[in-house]
Amino acid sequence: MQKKVTLKISGRVQGVFFRVSAQDKARELNLAGWVKNEANSTVTIEAAGEENKLQELIKWCQEGPECAKVDNVEVNWYPAGKKFSSFIIKH
């Protein structure tokens, strides 16, 4: 079933290739959406796709790339709604 999830990831998640690594993982999982650094040093991800693939992304985000130190992943689920055509890095 298609769903959408918004993730707020906190910890040492900026300056450690989190966005690029998240984009790679999302594309590997055939998810669409975006990832963005926030002014408060968190990273936000909005992704859409199959629920089981989104669960895999959430699990990956709890660790992140090698240099990251994830303290928390806030997860909010939504109906699929708006369609994304790819997974991009927002600036």
Question: Known catalytic residues?
Answer: 19, 37
29, β-bridge pairs: none
Residue with structure tokens 């055939």? 30
Residues in the chain: 91
**Helix crossing, 18-28 with 51-61: angle to 10°?**
150
